[in-house]
Amino acid sequence: MTNPLLSHWDTPFALPPFATITDADFAPAFKAALAEGRANIAAISASTEAPTFANTVEALETAEESLDRVSGVFYNLSGADSNPAREALQRDLAPLLSAYYSERALNPALFARVDAVWQARDSLSLSPEQARLLELQRRGFVRAGAALSPDQMQRMTALNERSAVIGTQFAQNLLADERDWFMDLAETDLGGLPDFLVTAARDAGAERGRPGAIITLSRSLIVPFLQYSPRRDLRQTAFQAWVARGENGGATDNRALVAETLAIRHERAQMLGYPDFAAYKLETEMAGNPGAVRDLLMRVWAPARARALVDAGVLSGMMLEDGINDDLAPWDWRYYSGKRRKAEHDLDESALKPYLSLEAMIAAAFDCANRLFGLEFRPLDVPLYHPDARAWEVTRKGEHVAVFIGDYFARGSKRSGAWMSAFRGQRKFGGAERPVIVNVCNFVKGDPALLSWDDARTLFHEFGHALHGMLSDVTYGALAGTNVARDFVELPSQLYEHWLSVPEVLERHARHWQTGVPMPADLRDRLLATSTYDQGFSTVEYVASALVDMAFHEGVPPADPMAKQAEVLAGLGMPRAITMRHATPHFAHVFSGGGYAAGYYSYMWSEVMDADAFQAFDEAGDPFDAATAARLETFILSSGGSVEADQLYTAFRGRMPGPEALLKGRGLLDAA
């Protein structure tokens, strides 16, 4: 029988044929796709024709189409709906794919052909996008080690394979810890919890076959529990399990993998001529060097820490009033911060959630995209990879733009967090293709599903990434969508969050799920008035993680990463009642594939731009100003990586920004 992953996809919008794909199809599909890729690379490398842009650079663009297609399906499913068969295949594939990509990147004949085109570039009359593709392609070969000696290439290949294996193991260990832990709640343990949380905890218990309510490590379940439960002992148990992911000893402990990963990265960077991995990584980012990163982070750290210490004093006083003569602990912060927000701003998360149904927030994200960019969304009735996933066709003026898939609910087979990915990217060369974009979240399932304010922001954030993918309009797939500098990629997502806080958006979409009545104006105003509430806490937990990440990758890597983490936090004067947002053993951004290695700072680097970018709409006097939105699409959302990031931002805004708008947005300008 024909393997559905390798056959022509005669489906609506050429979607993957999810209904006919089985787990048994993936291994043979990868085998065939790898063979095809090797044959195509060999043909390019061995060509007797003089190297040209067409027969070398463009040929490489389409050499691995089958592999890209199969990988797009498999790795999306592995992240969103894993199972033992997929986890086993991931482990098997990690060294095989790493070996393939090392073989490709370290192919001397292939690099020689690309380099020959590069050397002749001034005489080739290349378009700007062609010149950019050539530049990035050659740079990729050099940074992968194409100029190394044969012995060094052999060592680099071994390091790459080992890195792929342990990155996969890190992610699977983390998923196992998240999937396996839960805490049963007796009926007496439910006191003080709002109805939405009790319902969600009972549903989680039913899903796991437990007789009553449970708390799991799903962020959308554990965070409200920490916020509302008056039981300090249960909060402590839940919090300690949450932060101990990847650090529980035994087969799923990630600490040794972290140390090995850091050593491998350092060795690879030094082989390539860099002093350390941070210097290697940041060379191609907007920041450029670790010093620029540290300057930004420390400029924010000082006022954030000062604000957090003041807030800690207030919360400690509230604990004493409750008769608890103890130090404020990390499992206390959210509980007393929630009580403080209620007392000072008369705002309680449980009062907001009825107005923030998942359906309403999806509609709000779609409506903003319509008003800004003219996009329209039509539900699709097509087979998808899981019953919870939903799809829409995205059009503009009747023209097909993309397919958007939303997969919003937490489940044991899904890794934690939220992300945007693509089953297919956009391109014009090699057969025009429009993208198939997916947003994956971990919201608590309900009837209806009611979101927290943080959940709603997450939905808008990931949809901002989705717009970056869907509105891409470049020739070459390698430059499309989110294929940009890591410290630029968060700009569209963080910028899109701003529209959730536009009063007219809330007035139109934040409606009670039962009555349809808009959120009362006074509740909305109180919500928006708290936009900078607890920013000391959230900024400290984020910046601490970013600084630890950078410290890991500068200089000689630590033999004991946990000791290094403790050293960095002590040097910063980390408030004892706040922990890193991502402690090292579960820092998936950095150690599961490493996309954000020496790059977790990028959220804040992008925030400098997103705060300034939204000011462009303020200056225009309309959050939906058509001219500003058109510039945003032209220079940011549609251009992908076809131009350097700083040039794109300058084209949109006329200049690069400083951090003042960020500090103002976080309410930290006046902090000591």
Q: State how far the Cα of 318 lies from the Cα of 336, in Å rounded to an integer.
A: 7
What are the structure tokens assigned to 662, written together? 């960020």
Q: What backbone torsions phi and psi does residue 269 show, to the nearest 5 degrees?
A: -60, -45
Q: 247, 349, 462, 497: which one is catalytic? A: 462
Q: State how far the Cα of 558 lies from the Cα of 564, in Å rounded to an integer.
A: 6
Q: Is 490 a catalytic residue?
A: no
Check the CA dihedral 485-486-487-492 and report its sign: positive
- Kind plus residue range of the DSSP H or E element containing 393: strand 390-396
Residue carrying structure tokens 């044929």: 17
Q: Residue 236 is which amino acid?
A: Q
CA 375 vs CA 44, 402, 403, 480, 622: distances in Å: 40, 10, 12, 19, 19
Q: Which of 129, 16, 7 is nearest to 429 (CA)?
A: 129
Q: State how far the Cα of 426 lies from the Cα of 472, in Å rounded to an integer.
A: 6
CA triplet 440, 443, 446: central angle to 5 degrees? Answer: 130
Q: Which of 30, 31, 11 is nearest to 20 (CA)?
A: 11
Q: Residue 662 is which amino acid?
A: L
Could you write out the DSSP letters of every residue in 151-166? HHHHHHHHHHHHHHHH
Residue 599 CB partners (closer than 8 Å, separation 6+): 281, 282, 285, 486, 487, 549
Strand partners, 433: 427
Q: Which of 112, 156, 104 is nearest to 268 (CA)?
A: 156
What are the structure tokens assigned to 378, written together? 């039509």
Residue carrying structure tokens 């890729």: 37
Q: State how far the Cα of 593 lies from the Cα of 596, in Å rounded to an integer.
A: 8
Q: What is the set of active-site residues?
A: 462
